[in-house]
């Protein structure tokens, strides 16, 4: 049935997903160089980095529609080539306006990778293998975060941040072309047998129109606590890992790009290790998704207290440990969140629900990154280098967001089968 070939397809799509995470988090390591070369303030640098997230969030629903109507392979190829062009333009940008435009193009392009990839995997893998391959795909995303830290720092030290963006843009274009020529949407297109991956158990028997499905989802009270967990958490977490973590380490601790990249890479390792671990803990140890989520959110909040009140007092080994453990706890929200959201709704609109909830973390990052830069400008003493007091003040504001995420986690409805507090998530009737 082409068992080997489908893993080759997965490898290409997984490589594209690695680059999605790379593009998302790359500004953290090279932010100081970009601010100097483009003459930006902290607020403007925040807008530049967050320009990735606005189109990414807005494209989550259209991504599913295009994957269904235009085809996932065609959608990924076209938009990923768009992302490649954006990265190359960023490398040649001579001012902040051009750089913001380039980041917007990158965000638009990479937004069309995850949802179409999931559709292709559905067609190529049996149900039990599909779940496993989805987990591997998440791990490859963590690998992408790692490459945006220490490896990018090393590369930019050799050829500069501009050269690095151009090289990555060319690599992105190469992967887009490889997907076009070597990936097919279904096994039948390669002459292999059809795989029945329909695992639907709960159905409303009729197709639910898109706008009707969206209305059902946003009117569902159980949807919104998860939306707030993702939005408030990402406003701090993606702002730190995706932009301001690198300048923080360089400004407060006097680190080089390479040293800062090495420490930030621990956050990627925390995600890679935490994703499968948190899934196992929720099912085998906690026997509850909600309890694990609450524990993770409270732990992340408590860890951030140390960063906010002892901002300049960490030693280097402790910074490595903090980044790894903080990211490990944060991975739990993703692992238990998406399965929970899908189980709140009929399978006919589960994909739409996933797309809608996926908007919130990126909307949080789109707000958090420029907001953190604005506060750094406010609390700082001018220029593009900020003091330990400025970072401490900003991190204290971040604590408010993280506490809000913890409160929202206490309002989440349990979905894990066998959990003592599990609600009957299938009891609500949905009429097309």
| Domain match, 178 and 262 both | no
Per mean pLDDT, which range of 16-30, 53-67, 107-121, 218-232 is the poorest?
A: 53-67
pLDDT at residue 199 greater than cutoff 50: no
The CATH code of the domain that includes 114 is 1.20.1250.20
161 and 71 assigned to the same domain: yes
| 231: confidence class by pLDDT, cuts 50, 70, 90 | very high
> Which of 152, 186, 220 is at the close of a domain?
186
User: What average pLDDT does this structure show over 143-153?
Assistant: 87
Are 178 and 279 within one domain?
no
CB 17 within 8 A of CB 114: yes
d(CA 38, CA 35): 5
Structural domain contains residue 353 = yes
Task: Please indicate, yes or no, whether residues 4 and 129 belong to a single structural domain of this protein.
Answer: yes
- Domain containing 315: what range? 207-432
More confident residue, 83 or 342: 83
The residue among 157, 186, 215 that closes a domain is 186
251 lies in the same domain as 321: yes
Q: Which residues of 284-323 are buried (b: 16+ CB within 10 A; e: fewer)?
A: eebbbbbbbbbbbbbbbbebbeebbeebeebeeeebbebb
Return the pLDDT at 4.
82
| High-pLDDT (> 90) share of the chain, % | 43
Domain identity same for 431 and 307: yes
What are the tokens at 287? 């026997």
Mean pLDDT score of the chain: 85
> Distance between CA 114 and CA 108 in Å, rounded?
12
Greater confidence (347 vs 172) lies with: 172
Categorize the per-residue pLDDT at 423 as very low, low, confident or very high, splitting at 50, 70 and 90: very low
* Statement to judge: residues 24 and 128 lie in one domain: yes
Tell me whether residue 68 is in a domain.
Answer: yes
Per residue in 69-96, pLDDT (tens digit) is 788 899 999 999 999 999 999 999 999 9
Q: Cβ distance 398 to 375 under 8 Å?
A: no
State the Cα–Cα distance between residues 414 and 347, nearest whole angstrom. 18
User: What is the C-alpha separation between 292 and 286, in angstroms, rounded?
Assistant: 7
Q: Is residue 192 situated within a structural domain?
A: no
DSSP state of 282: I
Q: Are residues 212 and 244 in the same domain?
A: yes
344 in any annotated domain: yes
Q: Which of 186, 219, 240 is the last residue of a domain?
A: 186
pLDDT at residue 314 in the model: 94
Q: Mind listing the pLDDT tens digit for each residue in 79-138?
A: 999 999 999 999 999 999 999 999 999 999 999 998 888 888 878 887 667 656 776 787
pLDDT in tens, 44-73: 888 888 899 889 988 887 887 787 778 889
* pLDDT at residue 420 greater than cutoff 60: no
Residues 269 and 319 in one domain: yes
pLDDT of residue 248 exceeding 90: yes
Contact call for residues 141 and 25 (beta carbons, < 8 A): no
Q: What is the mean pLDDT of residues 281-309?
A: 88
Asked if 92 and 175 sit in the same domain, the reply is yes
pLDDT at 341: 79
Residue 97's pLDDT is: 93
Structural domain contains residue 218: yes
Residue 199 lies in a domain: no
Is residue 39's pLDDT more than 70? yes
292 and 396 share one domain: yes
- pLDDT surpasses 60 at 351: yes
Which residue did the predictor score with more confidence, 156 or 134?
156
Q: What is the pLDDT of residue 201?
A: 45
Q: Specify if 176 maps to a domain.
A: yes
String of DSSP letters for 220-243: -TTHHHHHHHHHHHHHHHHHIIII
Most confident of the following: 59-73, 294-308, 328-342: 294-308
Same domain assignment for residues 227 and 107: no
Say if 193 falls within a structural domain: no
d(CA 247, CA 253) in angstroms, rounded, equals: 10
Domain count, the chain: 2
């Amino acid at each position: 049935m082409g068992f080997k070939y489908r893993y080759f397809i997965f490898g290409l799509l997984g490589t594209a997903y690695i680059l999605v995470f790379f593009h998302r988090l790359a500004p953290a390591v090279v932010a100081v160089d970009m601010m100097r070369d483009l003459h930006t303030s902290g607020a403007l640098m925040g807008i530049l980095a967050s320009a990735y997230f606005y189109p990414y969030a807005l494209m989550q629903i259209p991504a599913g529609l295009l994957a269904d109507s235009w085809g996932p392979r065609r959608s990924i190829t076209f938009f990923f080539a768009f992302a490649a062009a954006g990265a190359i333009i960023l490398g040649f940008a001579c001012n902040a306006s051009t750089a913001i435009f380039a980041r917007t193009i990158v965000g638009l392009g990479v937004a069309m990778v995850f949802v179409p990839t999931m559709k292709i995997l559905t067609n190529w893998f049996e149900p039990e293998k599909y779940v496993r391959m989805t987990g591997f795909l998440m791990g490859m995303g963590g690998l992408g975060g790692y490459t945006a830290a220490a490896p990018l720092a090393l590369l930019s030290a050799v050829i500069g941040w501009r050269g690095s963006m151009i090289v990555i843009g060319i690599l992105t274009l190469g992967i887009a072309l490889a997907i076009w020529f070597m990936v097919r949407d279904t096994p039948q297109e390669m002459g292999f047998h059809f795989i029945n991956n329909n695992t639907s158990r709960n159905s409303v028997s009729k197709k639910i129109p898109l706008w009707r499905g969206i209305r059902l989802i946003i009117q569902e009270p159980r949807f919104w606590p998860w939306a707030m967990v993702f939005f408030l958490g990402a406003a701090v977490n993606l702002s730190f890992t995706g932009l301001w973590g690198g300048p923080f380490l360089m400004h407060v601790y006097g680190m080089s790009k390479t040293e800062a990249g090495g420490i930030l890479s621990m956050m990627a390792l925390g995600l890679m290790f935490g994703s499968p671990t948190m899934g196992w803990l929720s099912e085998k140890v906690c026997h509850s998704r909600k309890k694990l989520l609450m524990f993770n959110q409270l732990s992340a909040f408590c860890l951030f207290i140390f960063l906010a009140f002892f901002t300049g007092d960490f030693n280097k080994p402790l910074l490595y440990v903090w980044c790894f453990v903080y990211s490990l706890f944060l991975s739990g929200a993703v692992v238990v969140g998406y399965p929970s959201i899908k189980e709140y709704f009929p399978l006919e609109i589960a994909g739409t629900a996933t797309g809608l909830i996926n908007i919130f973390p990126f909307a949080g990052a789109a707000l958090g990154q420029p907001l953190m830069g604005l506060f750094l400008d406010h609390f700082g003493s001018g220029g593009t280098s900020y003091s330990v007091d400025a970072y401490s003040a900003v991190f204290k504001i971040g604590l408010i967001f993280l506490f809000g995420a913890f409160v929202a986690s206490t309002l989440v409805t349990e979905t894990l089968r066998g959990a003592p507090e599990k609600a009957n998530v299938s009891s609500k009737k949905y009429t097309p």
